[in-house]
Amino acid sequence: MPKQPVVTPRAQDFPRWYQDVIAKAELADNGPVRGTMVIRPYGWAIWERMQAAMDARIKAAGAENCYLPLFIPESYLSREAEHVEGFSPELAVVTHAGGKDLEEPVVVRPTSETVFGEFMAKWVTSHRDLPLLLNQWANVVRWEMRPRVFLRTSEFLWQEGHTAHATEADASAYARRILHEVYADFMRTELAMPVLAGRKTKRERFAGATNTMTLEAMMGDGKALQMGTSHELGQNFARAFDIGFTDVDQQRQLAWTTSWGTSTRMVGGLIMCHGDDAGLRIPPRLAATQALVTIVKSAPEVDSTAAQLVSELAAAGVRVRLDDRVDTPYGRRAVDAELKGIPVRVEVGPRDLADGQVTLVRRVPGSKEPVRVGEVAQQVVSALAADHQALYDEALQRRDAATVDAGSVDEAVDAAQTGWARLPWKLLGDEGEARIAGQGITVRCLVVPDADVEGGYRVPDTDDVAVEPELTAIVARAY
């Protein structure tokens, strides 16, 4: 009888594989209200560590955290015309509160953009107040017709940064700093995910922005996922909310603003980028539990060795946990650890121990080898470093192998069935983009070949082929 797979194989049904992993690794459940999610402790631990690592980078970039209210007067949203158009169909509205109908209904924030606009206008008066660099961690609501846990939920958690600057150049530089030094660095260094930085086309731009930059990652099925965006808003929001300042010459000026965000969607991206047919694979730097010391079968020496290894690993800076649930069959515990993607297991059993050994099981290479008890800490530390790199390399190779240089729109559309295509933007343009959108294929971003940049492409400052003849569209299906 063939062994029953623990989760649906990816090749058979990728969306079902995704749902299976989320359920069986105990990451999340669907919430009682359609489109909402319950993030379970194991899933939350992933988000919590993402938050901490991202927050440290945001602070290092000089931004300060604050918190704006959940409820927004409807009138705020309509001040920036494109902004309200972008969000109208997704809004949730409170019409009844405190036991009676509200005179003016309030909107549950789809983003705090407009409230930041309003308050930045209050807080900024002089050029001395600039740049004003703010960030918020919060929940936001955008009613979803086709929800999918972590990827598209009616409520999601995110950080949204909002900054005001005295000059366009300063705003522009800061939006790029967030894109590269904060977001891309976090994704590569902590999530072990290769991300491509590019510029959104007009069609895909954030409502109200003059420029949206994005980081795109390839998932296990060849589709793209937008992992984060950084927007230049020009003076649009500053004008709508009157964010002004007196410059050094005592002249009144409008500020230049930016906004940027990443969300719990990254958890979905992590799953779909690194997961395999045995379940999750958590990048070692992100894992709440990096090493699980497993008592295969209890015995006095087994128990004491396991305890000793736990303290040695903790002393070596490894986040370690003991699995002594010997009343649960060993096989089930092993499957559970695989499902949850714990990077390393140290299995301690009587037979190995008689030879002075334990077994080191590594999730990423899928290896299983004996290690002398005295060498465990050192071996685990080097395995964690190697496996972070291995995950990154594997994802990068998959992306490169599934990316095609297309010479025509048809070729690009073909390639987008299984991966990404690079297509000269001049062969596509706004019209071509609208046409392929009908087939569910979008321009993920525009890039420009540049041998001096790591990865070989840079983020263009324009979408005009007259200025940048080598503008290249990354074309794909996307989540």
- Both tokens of 212, joined, read 């949206």
Which lies closer to a copy of itself via its Cβ, residue 85 or residue 301?
85
Q: Is residue 69 within the footprint of a copy of itself (CB under 8 A)?
A: yes
Which window, 78-86, 90-98, 338-346, 421-429, contacts a copy of itself (CB under 8 A)? 90-98
Which window, 131-139, 198-206, 254-262, 370-378, contacts a copy of itself (CB under 8 A)? 131-139
Q: Is residue 105 within the footprint of a copy of itself (CB under 8 A)?
A: yes
Which lies closer to a copy of itself via its Cβ, residue 160 or residue 216?
160
* Mode of pairing for the β-strands spanning 155-165 and 256-263: antiparallel
Q: Is residue 134 within the footprint of a copy of itself (CB under 8 A)?
A: yes
Closest CA to 165 of 127, 194, 196: 127
Structure-token match 């706004």, residue found:
430
Considering only residues 306 through 335, tell me which ones interact with a copy of itself, judged by CB under 8 A: 327
Applying CB under 8 A, which of residues 106, 207, 326, 386 lies at the interface with a copy of itself? Answer: 106
CB of 302 to a copy of itself, least distance (A): 22
Q: Is residue 405 within the footprint of a copy of itself (CB under 8 A)?
A: no
Which window, 24-32, 217-225, 394-402, 453-461, contacts a copy of itself (CB under 8 A)? 24-32
Helix (H) or strand (E) run with residue 434 in it? helix 429-437
How far is 237 from 172, CA to CA, in rounded Å?
15
Radius of gyration of the chain (CA): 25
**Adjacent-strand bridge partners of 190:** none
Helix (H) or strand (E) run with residue 60 in it? helix 41-60
Task: Kindly report the number of other CB atoms within 10 A of residue 254's CB atom.
Answer: 16
Q: Is residue 31 within the footprint of a copy of itself (CB under 8 A)?
A: yes
Q: Is residue 92 within the footprint of a copy of itself (CB under 8 A)?
A: yes
Cβ-based neighbours of 57, under 8 Å, separated by 6 or more: 181, 182, 185, 186
How far is 223 from 477, CA to CA, in rounded Å?
5
Q: Is residue 146 within the footprint of a copy of itself (CB under 8 A)?
A: no
Q: Is residue 39 within the footprint of a copy of itself (CB under 8 A)?
A: yes
Q: Is residue 246 within the footprint of a copy of itself (CB under 8 A)?
A: no
Are 268 and 151 in contact, with CB atoms under 8 Å apart? yes
Which lies closer to a copy of itself via its Cβ, residue 87 or residue 206?
87
How far is 233 from 89, CA to CA, in rounded Å?
22
Q: Which residues bind a copy of itself (CB under 8 A)?
A: 29, 31-33, 36-41, 43-45, 47-48, 64-73, 76, 88-99, 105-106, 108, 115, 118-119, 122, 128, 134, 138-139, 141, 143-145, 154-155, 157, 327
